[in-house]
Structure 1
Amino acid sequence: MVQDKKKAVFRLLTSTSEAPGNLDISDTAREHEPDNFFRHVTSLSASKIADGLIDPKLVLSWLLTALGAPAGLLGLLVPIREAGALFPQMFTAGALRQFKHRKWAWAGGALIEGVAAIAMGLTAFMLTGAAAGWAILAALAVLALARSVCSVTYKDVLGKTIAKSRRGTATGTAGTIGAGAVLAYGVLLAFAGEDRLALVTGGLVLAGVLWVAAAIVFASLTEEASAPETSSSPVRRLAEDFGLLARDAQLRRFILVRALLTSTALAPPFMVALGTQTDTARNMFGGLGLLVVASASAGLLSSYVWGRLADRSSRKVLILTGLSGALALFGTLGLNAAGLLAAKAGLPVMIFILMIAYQGVRLGRSTHLVDMATAETRAAYTALSNTIIGTVLILGGGFSLVASFAGLTAVIAILGVMSAVAALFALGLDEVQSG
């Protein structure tokens, strides 16, 4: 009875009769797909909630400031979190490909993320000043490296356990659940008053518990064994993976589009800085809950829709997200020029639109990469693209220098152009879902 209800919900969410069709998974995987679908949704939902609870752009930035950490440490948060999770993948992917069941690598990475998040929470309870700042950055670096392991292996496990036409739905559903929970957390922050610091530090510990739970659930997936790939030296593996760029024009275009769409990840701090130039620190910190609510609302309203659209055409999702990102960024400049950006609804609306685009980028590029690759190339494509994007994000730190010399509006204009150009290049991507 329970299994029948689970299959009914599975069919409702995925709008499928489970006909074999072009599902690109084995008969055994298809038999376990409904159970695996819900395990993916559960573990990924827990991971996404945890991500929201430790958001470096918002939560950790506020926390370090509240703890009295040096201002210079704030600029290291996003590069450590984003680039640290992406850049190492080229060097770790070879070893991870030796795993017959790669779910264990993801579960191990999530477990380490949980320990690191709990360490951040304990640090916030026990330390202040520079010591707290450096300790939290160290824990964040460990968390980012563990995330790199999860990122390399997740798409491979997803590709083996969930059919092509339903992968975006699985990740989109998890995104919606995660965003709903983070939205509730943002509302609590908005009305926390003097208890905001305790709520933030408690959220870090809760994030750790959620990652541990995600590891346990993910380890219960029914995953068929993969044939371990022949081991080679990191240098040779690096050369082999970069050789894929020379042989696959679509991979080159996809990575270019994804690199240009990093504008949606890099822009929020500059938008917030532009919109709050006249705010006092008290007003900025008081708006933490509102910022979290705006970001989570965008994810809640768009994740499932983006996921369903990605299952039909991840190419079109990438085009739409590029256009949406450009709209938000140029809209920000327009409101600023009109003197309306500092209005009550000005900046939140622009952040909301940009976060909708950002959610689409994450779902669209993930689904496109999984579906364009084969079982043999999926791990290599993932590691290669993530390492290149990690490098791009590191270089993105240079926008702070641009802001110093040319101003915030110049940075936002450049990022807006990047987003628009991404949509243009995405027109040349293949419709991989119809293949």
Structure 2
Amino acid sequence: MPDPSPHAESSAPRHPDWMESLYERLAEDDEGRVCKAISEDACRASPGNFFRTLVANTLSSLADRIASAKTTLPWLLLQLGAPGWMLSLLVPIRESGSMLPQMLIGAGVRRQPVRKWVWVWGGALQGLCLLGMGWAALALEGAAAGWLVIALLVLFSLARGACSVAYKDVQGKTIPKTRRGRLSGWISAVSGLAALGVGLALGALQGEGSTALFAGLLVGGAVLWFAAAAVFGRIVESPGATEGGANGVVEAFARLTLLRDDRPFRAFVIARALAMGSGLAAPFYVALAREELGDALSLLGVFIAVEGLAGLLSSPLWGRWADRSSRRVFAAACALAGALTVAVALWSWLPMPAWAASWFYPLAFFGLGLAHAGVRLGRKTYMVDMAEGNRRTDYVAVSNSVIGALLLVSGVIGGVAATVSVEATLVLLGGAGLLGAWLSLGWKNVSG
């Protein structure tokens, strides 16, 4: 893995005026540089690092939205004639596959003094996986196409797990503490605007999508990942501590004792687990909408556009609030997701006219997207602010691995429950979210 010399990485270049101006506007840092919890070198490099992180993660976020395991990939497998039961594997693999290995990945990341290269190689691998899926869309069909897409999704998720650990640690070393929420908010907003445009374009199309169209979406996502990796590689990151890098399997599992010994961390993991419904409920929203409104390509475009609009409108607000109190952002967003999910279940149980469903489901999906953005931003900002140095990597690896395992279990249970009643499953997910919101109000305040 590339490891440029410490002198090259620690020297902060002069930034052009436009970059300084952009940083002051986006980070609201026009009254003197704010540099809490990062080094002096990182402080000088923060405008450029803020901009490069914004661009790289905006590109990767847009790639995720146009090649989503909740929308695009299910439509693709149906188009290719893959067995229907394969659809139930997509979201659990996508989410838990990127989280379960993170205790082991975290140990490897800690051995790297410059950790941005983990993200760069992980991003490039995700781009290659999307290219492979695009090839499958054009060359294969039926179960063979489905199995290849699933296998590539497993590899994609493992690469994403490495990126997740590395990103939080790089952000903690290069972005001032009081500017991290704003950065995450702008990433979601800009990528949401782009996703809105893609969704509107798809929504204007009539009939069912062709395999060439789906392949084009996946290839476009791959190009975005390659560009994101190139930009992220230009981040100025000083070499960090590597103590404890040779942990191995035993040490990775030994860090699970954090759940027993660290009460604030344990409270965070419990509430985060209860909040999983903000992500797990989305396919059920889509399933109920498709049942009532049909499976035309325009419906896929509507959901992509609505999700993008939610990110565009919600994330800057969530970001500013997260810098003041990330736990309250998490609590409010989690409560919103829980209440909406229960409402969708009740709506589906009641005899409603078809014309009403055409606006209710997109509106509810918009609200869920808004809430999910807040849940993710709140807990990510809280996680980064809760610990410093290598303890941050431990927290990320342990919490994501535990949540990944619970996601897999919840996916199986939810799939079985959904065969009996989708509405009852939504009520359970919504109720858990409301409980998680209440518990998170007791978290320790770590912002500011």
Report the TM range for the smaller structure's normalisation: over 0.9
Match of 1:135 in 2: 148
Give TM-score, length-normalised by structure 1.
0.95
**Residue 235 (1) aligns with residue 240 (2):** no
Match of 2:222 in 1: 208
CA contact under 8 A between 2:338 and 2:431: conserved in structure 1? yes
Q: Secondary structure at the match of 2:447?
A: helix
- Find the partner of 2:310 among 298, 302, 307: 298
CA contact under 8 A between 1:332 and 1:341: conserved in structure 2? no
The separation in 1 between residues aligned to 2:298 and 2:186, in whole angstroms, is 31
**Residue 61 (1) aligns with residue 74 (2):** yes
Give TM-score, length-normalised by structure 2.
0.92
**Residue 47 (1) aligns with residue 68 (2):** no
- Find the partner of 1:89 among 83, 102, 105: 102
Residues 122 and 18 (structure 1), Cα distance of their counterparts in 2 relative to 1, 3 Å cut: farther
Query: What residue identity is the alignment partner of 1:209?
Result: V
Shift of residue 341, structure 1, vs aligned partner: 7.7
Shift of residue 286, structure 1, vs aligned partner: 4.0
- 1:97-246 matches, cutoff 5 A: 97-193=110-206, 196-197=209-210, 198-246=212-260
Match of 1:261 in 2: 275
Match of 1:25 in 2: 38
Residues 21 and 203 (structure 1), Cα distance of their counterparts in 2 relative to 1, 3 Å cut: closer
**Residue 340 (1) aligns with residue 355 (2):** no
**Residue 402 (1) aligns with residue 417 (2):** yes
The separation in 2 between residues aligned to 1:108 and 1:22, in whole angstroms, is 29
The separation in 1 between residues aligned to 2:86 and 2:129, in whole angstroms, is 18
The separation in 2 between residues aligned to 1:110 and 1:148, in whole angstroms, is 10
Shift of residue 2, structure 1, vs aligned partner: 7.2
The separation in 2 between residues aligned to 1:78 and 1:259, in whole angstroms, is 16
Q: Which segment drifts farther, 302-311 or 156-165? A: 302-311
**Residue 309 (1) aligns with residue 321 (2):** yes
Query: What residue identity is the alignment partner of 1:287?
Result: L
Residues 274 and 192 (structure 1), Cα distance of their counterparts in 2 relative to 1, 3 Å cut: closer
CA contact under 8 A between 2:205 and 2:298: conserved in structure 1? no
The separation in 2 between residues aligned to 1:431 and 1:205, in whole angstroms, is 43
Query: What residue identity is the alignment partner of 1:404?
Result: T
CA contact under 8 A between 1:29 and 1:223: conserved in structure 2? yes
CA contact under 8 A between 1:11 and 1:17: conserved in structure 2? yes
Match of 1:364 in 2: 378
Residues 117 and 21 (structure 1), Cα distance of their counterparts in 2 relative to 1, 3 Å cut: closer
Match of 2:20 in 1: 7
Q: Secondary structure at the match of 1:147?
A: helix
CA contact under 8 A between 1:263 and 1:416: conserved in structure 2? yes
CA contact under 8 A between 2:42 and 2:238: conserved in structure 1? yes
Q: Deviations over 1:372-401 (max 9, x none)?
A: 011120111000010011011101111111
The separation in 2 between residues aligned to 1:52 and 1:239, in whole angstroms, is 33
Q: Secondary structure at the match of 1:7?
A: helix
The separation in 1 between residues aligned to 2:83 and 2:422, in whole angstroms, is 22
Query: What residue identity is the alignment partner of 2:104?
Result: F
The separation in 1 between residues aligned to 2:339 and 2:296, in whole angstroms, is 25
Query: What residue identity is the alignment partner of 1:248?
Result: D
Shift of residue 278, structure 1, vs aligned partner: 4.2
CA contact under 8 A between 2:97 and 2:154: conserved in structure 1? yes
Match of 1:325 in 2: 337
Q: Secondary structure at the match of 2:111?
A: coil
CA contact under 8 A between 2:241 and 2:390: conserved in structure 1? no
Query: What residue identity is the alignment partner of 1:392?
Result: L
Shift of residue 279, structure 1, vs aligned partner: 4.6
Shift of residue 195, structure 1, vs aligned partner: 7.7
CA contact under 8 A between 1:189 and 1:199: conserved in structure 2? no
Q: Secondary structure at the match of 2:281?
A: helix
Q: Deviations over 1:186-237 (max 9, x none)?
A: 1111123358333321010011111111111111110010121234453321
Query: What residue identity is the alignment partner of 1:386?
Result: N
Query: What residue identity is the alignment partner of 1:108?
Result: W
Query: What residue identity is the alignment partner of 1:304?
Result: P
Match of 1:35 in 2: 48
CA contact under 8 A between 1:253 and 1:429: conserved in structure 2? yes
Q: Deviations over 1:132-178 (max 9, x none)?
A: 11111111111111001001110000000000110111111111111
CA contact under 8 A between 1:275 and 1:341: conserved in structure 2? no
Quote the sequence identity (%).
Answer: 37
Two-structure CA RMSD over aligned residues (Å): 1.7
Residues 232 and 291 (structure 1), Cα distance of their counterparts in 2 relative to 1, 3 Å cut: same
The separation in 2 between residues aligned to 1:160 and 1:124, in whole angstroms, is 40
Shift of residue 96, structure 1, vs aligned partner: 1.6
Query: What residue identity is the alignment partner of 1:174?
Result: I
CA contact under 8 A between 2:103 and 2:253: conserved in structure 1? no
CA contact under 8 A between 2:67 and 2:218: conserved in structure 1? yes
Extract unaligned runs of 5+ from structure 1.
none
- Find the partner of 1:251 among 251, 265, 268: 265
The separation in 2 between residues aligned to 1:288 and 1:376, in whole angstroms, is 42
Q: Which segment drifts farther, 268-277 or 54-63? A: 268-277
Shift of residue 244, structure 1, vs aligned partner: 1.6
Q: Which segment drifts farther, 407-416 or 340-349? A: 340-349
